[in-house]
Amino acid sequence: LQQADVQLSSKVDASGKTKAIVFSTTATLDVLEVERLCEAVGWPERPREKIKRALENSFMVATLYEVDIDPDTGNRGDTSKGRLIGCARATSDHVFNATLWDIIVDPAYQGVGLGKALVTSMIRSLLARDVANVTLFADQDVIPFYRALGFIIDPEGIKGMFLYPS
Amino acid sequence: LQQADVQLSSKVDASGKTKAIVFSTTATLDVLEVERLCEAVGWPERPREKIKRALENSFMVATLYEVDIDPDTGNRGDTSKGRLIGCARATSDHVFNATLWDIIVDPAYQGVGLGKALVTSMIRSLLARDVANVTLFADQDVIPFYRALGFIIDPEGIKGMFLYPS
């Protein structure tokens, strides 16, 4: 099930170029770009090969790209030529549950609603692929963000639990 | 990476037959047997086709079977000829996270440590496949059970969150 990219916004930047921000679940991710994002948000470094494998084995990898708009034709540049400014991924059984992981927006692009756009677009894509519900594990400081998107903490007393092998 | 079945216990039943309980991550599951288990523990019915797809798209499906031991040879019967008495599945990115779902033990076989054996064997299998950590969402009444197996609730304030689409 191929889904079309969705243009979220466009603007003219300081140099007079028109740029658009595009949501995609089908873009071919460059793992170096993902590493750059992880570093930008201050996450601990993880082996490149592992990031690559985790992306390959995720049910969905959602991305935000900033791309150029051609001033003459108005055509939008391909995500492969754009700049990755956000990503997130989901593991899933393709039916009952999808779980979101590693939701990142480039700090230089934060504060304008792109995190919200990334997650809501991703939820829409997951539901379009017939996943029944969406879960995640939220750090304390982002709980209000996810709550505002409709996520519920500990519904009916259900608790998220972690095992960290020693 | 094929992993061998693990015999957890054996006993002589009332009719004098020797039975063993076997943990497997490679058994071919009969979805009708899974439905029987779900019904036995009182879960709401789910479409068979969906259960089938979710099992197919899980990273790991762990099972407990009761199988016969041949009285003459001492050989253990194949799981395909045994009785499914427990199962669980995990979604995963194959690297960083695995999440356990739908952990069931047949009520007729509960109370003798098989739930614990199922989950600990499954964790061992996940770690053997190089998954870094294991998560789950626990109903209130089974939190002490998972805590005893080393699972931590809300580590560092991380919260499990659910979105149920309306």
Residue range B1-46, pLDDT digits in tens: 456 899 998 899 888 999 999 999 999 999 999 999 999 999 999 9
Contact B140 A158 (CB under 8 A): yes
Please name the residue ranges forming H helices in chain A: 31-40, 48-56, 114-128, 143-148
Q: Which residue of B has its CA nearest to A147?
A: B161
pLDDT, position B2: 53
CA angle B43, A123, A11 (to 5 degrees): 175
> Which residues of chain B have a CB within 8 Å of the CB of A163?
123, 133-135, 149-152
Q: How many CA within 13 A on the CB side of residue A160?
A: 20
Query: What are the residues facing B59 on neighbouring strands?
Result: none
Contact B134 A58 (CB under 8 A): no
CA angle B123, B129, B132 (to 5 degrees): 65
CA of residue B4 relative to chain centroid, distance: 15
**What's the rounded Cα separation, in Å, for the pair B166 and B164?**
6
pLDDT digits (tens, 9 = 90+) for B37-72: 999 999 999 999 999 999 999 999 999 999 999 989
The beta-carbon neighbor of B138 closest among A55, A136, A159 is: A159
- Helix pair B48-56, B31-40: axis angle to 10 deg: 110
Average pLDDT, chain B: 94
Residues contacting residue A13 through CB under 8 Å, at least 6 positions apart: A19
The beta-carbon neighbor of A165 closest among B57, B133, B138 is: B133
Tokens read off for A128:
């379009």
Contact B133 A162 (CB under 8 A): yes
**Hey, how many other C-beta atoms are within 10 angstroms of the C-beta on A127?**
15
Q: What is the gyration radius of the CA atoms in chain B, in angstroms?
A: 17
What single letter denotes the amino acid at residue B113? G
The beta-carbon neighbor of A135 closest among B143, B147, B161 is: B161
**What's the rounded Cα separation, in Å, for the pair A8 and A20?**
7
Residues of A known to be catalytic: 146
pLDDT digits (tens, 9 = 90+) for B105-137: 999 999 999 999 999 999 999 999 999 999 999
The alpha carbon of residue B164 is apart from the nearest alpha carbon of chain A, in Å, by: 5
The alpha carbon of residue A43 is apart from the nearest alpha carbon of chain B, in Å, by: 14
**What's the rounded Cα separation, in Å, for the pair A48 and A51?**
5
pLDDT at A102 over 90: yes
**What's the rounded Cα separation, in Å, for the pair A93 and A114?**
27
> Which residues of chain A have a CB within 8 Å of the CB of B123?
163, 165
Contact B123 A163 (CB under 8 A): yes
pLDDT at A146 over 50: yes
The beta-carbon neighbor of B135 closest among A146, A155, A160 is: A160
pLDDT digits (tens, 9 = 90+) for A40-69: 999 999 999 999 999 999 999 999 999 999
pLDDT digits (tens, 9 = 90+) for B75-116: 999 999 999 999 999 999 999 999 999 999 999 999 999 999
Residues contacting residue B122 through CB under 8 Å, at least 6 positions apart: B25, B60, B62, B88, B90, B100
> Which residues of chain A have a CB within 8 Å of the CB of B59?
57, 91
Contact A161 B139 (CB under 8 A): no
On whether the CB atoms of residues A101 and A136 are closer than 8 A, the answer is: yes
Residues contacting residue A60 through CB under 8 Å, at least 6 positions apart: A25, A89, A90, A92, A98, A122, A125, A126, A129
Contact A50 B96 (CB under 8 A): yes
DSSP per-residue string spanning A56-74: HTSSEEEEEEEEEB-TTT-
Kindly indicate the confidence band of residue A4, based on its pLDDT and cuts at 50, 70 and 90.
Answer: confident
ipTM score assigned to the predicted complex: 0.92
The model's pTM is 0.93
